[in-house]
Amino acid sequence: MVQQLEVENLTFQHDQRLNSKTLSNVSFTVQKGEWLAIIGHNGSGKSTLAQLLVGLLVPENGQISADGLIMTEDTKWEIRRKIGLVFQNPENQFIGSTVQDDVAFGLENLNMSYNEMKIRVDEALEMVNMTRFRFHEPTNLSGGQMQRVAIAGALALKPSILLLDEAFVMLDPLSRKDLLETLENLKITEDLTIISITHDVNETAVSDRVLVMESGEVVNSGSPEEIFLAEQAIDPPFAEQLRRDLMAKGRSVPETYMTEREMLGWLCK
């Protein structure tokens, strides 16, 4: 397996007057093509971690490397190009007057030919199913469509990693579900590595591995199944909750954790 991101003993403090660190000795790795979900209560340090990963903040201690490149003042721009960051408010990220201008924006500083740029924009719009909106004004789109365009803008830069910081929080449940399916497909077809910072159980459930943060530390990590079983404070996804409810009612249900697909298959049988 190829190690795409390596975070070692990351320590950071926003406010030097405070005794406790915002992040203490955070370490983890992400493999190529893996989907890592980072969860934790408000204020546990998830967004601070995201800002460190793209070099917007500088750690007090510790090291970040992406594709084997260690983050320093000199390499941070190169690393930032490897990590496509999408935030929660897509409308704050729009610059272009049409969807395609917006997706092309990040490419304009890369000294790329018009043809290459056009190919990248076409591919990125196709990946998020937004080709038919290419001449629309981004601000007239729905929340889900805006977030798709923001993701296309990040994908056009061909990042090694897509980093989503609460990127679905403003979306309605249907748009969330649609976009999650799109990302699940892209992970497979493009071997895309995804890191998603989230409070959403469904987003957590589709990941390969979950990191749980508390007061600036990583306190647990494991498969979604392990984490939903171990962390009682976290509500499990719908299918697993249904399995537990049926079991509590004395129904004969499978004894192991079930994903939505597994539950559907079992119910159909």
Ligand X SMILES: Nc1ncnc2c1ncn2[C@@H]1O[C@H](COP(=O)(O)OP(=O)(O)OP(=O)(O)O)[C@@H](O)[C@H]1O
Is 144 an interacting residue with respect to ligand X (CB under 6 A)? no
Q: In whole angstroms, how close is the CB of 47 to ligand X at the nearest point?
A: 3
Identity of the residue, 14 or 247, whose beta carbon is nearer to ligand X in the bound complex:
14
Site map (CB under 6 A) of ligand X, residues 41-70, x = contact: -xxxxxxx----------------------
Amino acid identity for residue 93 in this structure: Q
Q: In whole angstroms, how close is the CB of 110 to ligand X at the nearest point?
A: 30
Identity of the residue, 22 or 175, whose beta carbon is nearer to ligand X in the bound complex:
22
Q: Name the 3-class secondary structure at 83.
A: strand
Pairing between strand 209-214 and 35-40?
parallel
- As a whole number of angstroms, the distance between CA 204 and CA 37 comes to 6
Is 14 an interacting residue with respect to ligand X (CB under 6 A)? yes
Q: Name the 3-class secondary structure at 12.
A: strand
Q: In which order are the strands placed within the sheet that holds 3-12?
A: 23-31, 3-12, 61-66, 69-70
In 106-166, where does DSSP find H-type helix?
114-127, 143-156
Of positions 4, 22, 147, 193, contacts ligand X by CB under 6 A: 22
Q: In whole angstroms, how close is the CB of 194 to ligand X at the nearest point?
A: 17
Is 40 an interacting residue with respect to ligand X (CB under 6 A)? yes
The span of 14-22, 71-79, 144-152, 219-227 binding ligand X (CB under 6 A) equals: 14-22
Token pair recorded at residue 203: 């987003």
Token pair recorded at residue 34: 């893996």
- As a whole number of angstroms, the distance between CA 161 and CA 4 comes to 8
Q: In whole angstroms, how close is the CB of 216 to ligand X at the nearest point?
A: 7
Is 15 an interacting residue with respect to ligand X (CB under 6 A)? yes
Is 31 an interacting residue with respect to ligand X (CB under 6 A)? no
Are 47 and 165 within 8 A, CB to CB? yes
Q: In whole angstroms, how close is the CB of 202 to ligand X at the nearest point?
A: 17
Which stretches of the chain bind ligand X, using CB under 6 A? 14-15, 22, 40, 42-48
